[in-house]
Chain A
Amino acid sequence: MNAPLTMTENMQEHKFDVRSLSSADVAPKRLSPQQYKELGEELDQLRQQIADDLGQSDVDYINQVIRVSRGCEVVGRLLLHVSLDPVTWSLGVASLSAAKILENMEIGHNVMHGQYDWTNDKALSSRHYDWDNVCDKESWRNHHNFEHHTYTNIIGKDRDYGYAVLRLSDDEPWRPRHLLQPAAFVGLTLLFEWGVALHEIESEKLISGEISIREKIPFLKRFAKKASRQVIKDYVFFPMLAGPMAGKVALGNLAANGIRNIWTGSVIFCGHFTEGAETFTEEECENETKGQWYFRQILGSSNFEGPRWLHILSGHLSHQMEHHLFPDIPAHRYTEMQTEVKRICEKFSIPYNTGSFKEQYKTVLQRVWKYTLPTAA
């Protein structure tokens, strides 16, 4: 078990090594201890202000999203079942994809973060909620909620950074295998839920011999249990219901899972792998204060802009910076928190990394390509 991150009041000046900011950004190399303290206080205050305001409307909102998602799933599966023409089949795929995207992003991810634990509702409880995804919920809560959100973008500790598949900064030395990185990127996008589900296996440590496969048996059992359920549902049970038409149902489910994977993967890449998103070393994060932790969360994350439906479909991870500052505040509140976060960033001259989805995704592709080739550090 990892020790909880300690937040000491022992303020040290940390030299944040800003490696990857574009020249256009005015990057703060560091803040003064006093500034970190003020930053922490202002963000704590914003968090408290929204936490105090949570109420019935937040519950009504998430329950409405749950109804829409479940409704889309029922409609999508029905359409796939009865479809005889490509149009009906495509509508079925679209409806099922929407259901899965809403369920994974706006409902599952957020509920499992504990954003609705305050409601005391078992159906919205992070302890009980299980999502429509091959990733086991306990594994997720450990590697995502704990490791990734605590050690965000610390190379060597945040295994979400590149998912141990991609080289995305010079912290990792270049090797010939990185030449295959563009293909790995496409693969990770298409099979994103499987990447997330197998994250805990720590393949890179298995290969290096640091850990043995024996240690991973309990995890593999949990993985097999959850993944087999999901596979049987989408590729055995529902196709079989359609009898001789099983193939088109299985294909429809494959398409819906694929569309969900492409979308969720892309959203998450835009949250941490964009041009301005920074990385950190373990040393510079030792004994960090709450203010410094907040500072790292801002610099390590990036947002994208768009209409409301885009935010909802992204589970409000379009507000990845706000999500990393306040992971347990209901995500649909990030939109209103953004104004204040921007103001605070401006006050302390911290770059606020945002742009359109297209722009942000372009910088992700550029980063993947850049580190495919050996770079002079």
Chain B
Amino acid sequence: MQLTTQSRHPVSRVGRWAQQMLFNRSFAEYISPLVSMVDPLASVGGIKALVESLNKDGAGATTIRLRPGRQWQGFVPGQYLPFTFSVDGVRLTRYYSISSSLALFRQFGFIEVTIKRVAGGSVSSWVDSTLEAGQIVSIGQADGELVLPAQLLGAGNSAKNKALYLAAGSGVTPFLSMLKTYGTQELHQQLIYSASSQGEHIQQQILEMAATANMSLNFHDSSQSDRLAKETLLTLCPDIIERQVLICGSVEFANAMVAALAALGVPAANVQQETFYSAAKPNASEVGGELVLQGVKAGMPIEVTIESNGTSILEQAEAQGFSPASGCRMGICHECTCKKTQGVVRNLLTGKLSSADEESIQSCISIPVGQVSVELASS
């Protein structure tokens, strides 16, 4: 969990007190509604980006080209950034990897992300149906560790500078940025992309690059055959053992790839991965425990006891009419952190079970296991 530490320096303490005294909040928060009338891209109270254009492939994928405000500090190919959209008045935050090249940002100030419409996904559906060019969205600084190590990008023994990208589904987007950015460098890049239906849009972007030298691309149709076997990996990439391997996809995909790479003898030090989890699937053994939710409903403190349906505590609380604080709904932002007073929960991201003690948990990625009591935080 990231903790924002406030400076204890006397000057900044006086500054904070003065802002509270004058505005009951920070000066930036106070003035931002007024400033936004004049300059919508002004960065008081958070970084903004202008939606420059939208490119839809007709199959539910939208590539958004954005111009971030001046306070945005740039990115390294492979990184993601948070987007906050106002979907029907509700601010929802999602993280998307940048799929465009570094050159596009450095020369023209644009970045691109590709968002695929997910069935039942409130943000991706809204992006597909409602987002328009000219709108202002809130963004954050780029972040993420899935970037090529510096020594691979340096000049030198070019024969050894090789990277292999293993992507599943929408996990391909960070690699699009790398392929576009490093296409002209002394680096051989290979992408093995496993997807059940290759979105036209993403496929098109990849094919555009295929002509470039120093690059090989392989599609693996995961609807036809099972997950990439280690034999398939070796056939597609005979020099796999010499490569830096970057993996991006679901937890299941990444786990399978790590195991296959280990079996092929790829040193663990050469493997990097980034995972995301897709909608929680109830686990049969975790349905039916007693879940006690304490929170505020219609302005009144109330306690509700339900039979757990095996989904996250956040979803079950919302289904009961509570509106607990929440943010990214994927275990990143910690907005939904609440207090578990007793019981064991399973962390959806790690699969691990918690202790039975009182502790803070992220309600969006915590599934009750047996009897659990939670104090919800109001937003």
Are A and B a genuine interacting pair, yes or no?
A: yes
Residues of A within 8 A of B (CB): 4-5, 47, 54-60, 63, 66-67, 70-71, 74, 113-114, 117-121, 123, 125-127, 130-132, 145-146, 149-150, 229, 232-233, 237, 326-328
B300 touches A74 (CB 8 A): no
Candidates B45, B296, B300, B379; contact of A120 at CB < 8 Å: B379
A55-B300 contact in complex given A70-B34, A117-B379, A229-B20, C-beta closer than 8 Å:
no
B29 within 8 Å of A (CB atoms): yes
A70-B34, A130-B25 are known; give 11 further A-B pairs, CB within 8 A.
A4-B303, A54-B89, A67-B37, A70-B30, A118-B379, A120-B91, A120-B335, A127-B325, A132-B24, A146-B301, A150-B300
State how many angstroms separate the Cβ of A81 from the closest Cβ of chain B.
Answer: 14
B10 within 8 Å of A (CB atoms): no
In the bound complex, CA of A314 to CA of B24 (Å): 22
B33 touches A58 (CB 8 A): no
**Residue among A63, A113, A233, A237 with max Cβ neighbours from chain B (10 Å):** A233
B33 touches A63 (CB 8 A): yes
A233 touches B89 (CB 8 A): no
A127 touches B21 (CB 8 A): no
A120 touches B377 (CB 8 A): no
B226 within 8 Å of A (CB atoms): no
**Residue ID in chain A nearest B295 by CB atoms:** A4
A4 touches B300 (CB 8 A): yes
A149 touches B88 (CB 8 A): no
**Residue ID in chain A nearest B301 by CB atoms:** A4
Candidates B20, B89, B296; contact of A119 at CB < 8 Å: B89
Candidates A55, A132, A233, A326; contact of B88 at CB < 8 Å: A55
B89 touches A130 (CB 8 A): no
A67 touches B33 (CB 8 A): yes
Interface size class of B (residues with CB under 8 A): 20 to 34
B86 within 8 Å of A (CB atoms): yes
A59 touches B379 (CB 8 A): no
B22 touches A237 (CB 8 A): yes
B92 within 8 Å of A (CB atoms): yes
Pairs of residues from A and B, 9 with the lowest C-beta to C-beta distance, nearest first: A327-B299, A120-B91, A59-B89, A130-B24, A55-B88, A4-B301, A56-B89, A229-B21, A117-B379
**Residue ID in chain B nearest A146 by CB atoms:** B301
A4 touches B302 (CB 8 A): yes
Indicate with 1 or 0, residue by residue over B356-377, a CB within 8 angstroms of chain A CB atoms. Answer: 0000000000000000000001
**B29: which A residues are within 8 A, CB to CB?**
123
In the bound complex, CA of A286 to CA of B377 (Å): 28
Q: Is the interface of B mostly helix, strand, loop or mixed?
A: mixed
B216 within 8 Å of A (CB atoms): no
A127-B377 contact in complex given A56-B89, A233-B21, C-beta closer than 8 Å:
yes
A149 touches B33 (CB 8 A): no
- Number of residue pairs across A and B with beta carbons under 8 Å? 88
**B31: which A residues are within 8 A, CB to CB?**
70
A74 touches B303 (CB 8 A): no
Q: List 5 A-B contacts (CB under 8 A).
A: A67-B37, A113-B299, A123-B45, A237-B21, A237-B22
**A67: which B residues are within 8 A, CB to CB?**
33-34, 37
B327 within 8 Å of A (CB atoms): yes
A126 touches B378 (CB 8 A): yes
**A74: which B residues are within 8 A, CB to CB?**
34
**Residue ID in chain B nearest A69 by CB atoms:** B33
State how many angstroms separate the Cβ of B262 from the closest Cβ of chain A.
Answer: 41
A120 touches B90 (CB 8 A): yes
Residues of B within 8 A of A (CB): 20-22, 24-25, 29-34, 37, 45, 86, 88-92, 296, 298-303, 323, 325-327, 335, 377-379
**Residue ID in chain A nearest B294 by CB atoms:** A4
State how many angstroms separate the Cβ of B130 from the closest Cβ of chain A.
Answer: 10
**B379: which A residues are within 8 A, CB to CB?**
117-118, 120, 125-127
In the bound complex, CA of A125 to CA of B303 (Å): 22
A114 touches B24 (CB 8 A): no
**Residue ID in chain A nearest B18 by CB atoms:** A237
**B299: which A residues are within 8 A, CB to CB?**
113-114, 145, 149, 327-328
**Residue ID in chain B nearest A133 by CB atoms:** B24
A232 touches B21 (CB 8 A): yes
In the bound complex, CA of A295 to CA of B15 (Å): 49
State how many angstroms separate the Cβ of B33 from the closest Cβ of chain A.
Answer: 5
**Residue ID in chain B nearest A150 by CB atoms:** B300
**Residue among A71, A119, A149, A237 with max Cβ neighbours from chain B (10 Å):** A119
**Residue among A66, A67, A121, A126 with max Cβ neighbours from chain B (10 Å):** A121
Candidates A58, A120, A130, A149; contact of B327 at CB < 8 Å: A120
**B24: which A residues are within 8 A, CB to CB?**
130-132, 229
In the bound complex, CA of A102 to CA of B45 (Å): 22
In the bound complex, CA of A67 to CA of B36 (Å): 10
B33 touches A5 (CB 8 A): no
**Residue ID in chain B nearest A130 by CB atoms:** B24
**B33: which A residues are within 8 A, CB to CB?**
63, 66-67, 70
A114 touches B300 (CB 8 A): no
Candidates A70, A120, A130, A146; contact of B92 at CB < 8 Å: A120
In the bound complex, CA of A30 to CA of B377 (Å): 37
A119 touches B21 (CB 8 A): no
**Residue ID in chain B nearest A127 by CB atoms:** B378
State how many angstroms separate the Cβ of B137 from the closest Cβ of chain A.
Answer: 14
**Residue among B20, B32, B37, B300 with max Cβ neighbours from chain A (10 Å):** B300
In the bound complex, CA of A47 to CA of B300 (Å): 15
A117-B302 contact in complex given A67-B37, A131-B24, C-beta closer than 8 Å:
no
In the bound complex, CA of A177 to CA of B25 (Å): 42
In the bound complex, CA of A55 to CA of B88 (Å): 5
**A125: which B residues are within 8 A, CB to CB?**
325, 379
A119 touches B30 (CB 8 A): no
In the bound complex, CA of A127 to CA of B296 (Å): 12
A327 touches B298 (CB 8 A): yes
**A132: which B residues are within 8 A, CB to CB?**
24
B326 touches A120 (CB 8 A): yes
A114 touches B296 (CB 8 A): yes
In the bound complex, CA of A345 to CA of B311 (Å): 40
A56 touches B86 (CB 8 A): yes
B91 touches A119 (CB 8 A): yes
**A4: which B residues are within 8 A, CB to CB?**
300-303
**A114: which B residues are within 8 A, CB to CB?**
296, 299, 323, 378
**A66: which B residues are within 8 A, CB to CB?**
33
Candidates B20, B88, B378; contact of A117 at CB < 8 Å: B378
State how many angstroms separate the Cβ of A371 from the closest Cβ of chain B.
Answer: 30
State how many angstroms separate the Cβ of B338 from the closest Cβ of chain A.
Answer: 12
**B302: which A residues are within 8 A, CB to CB?**
4
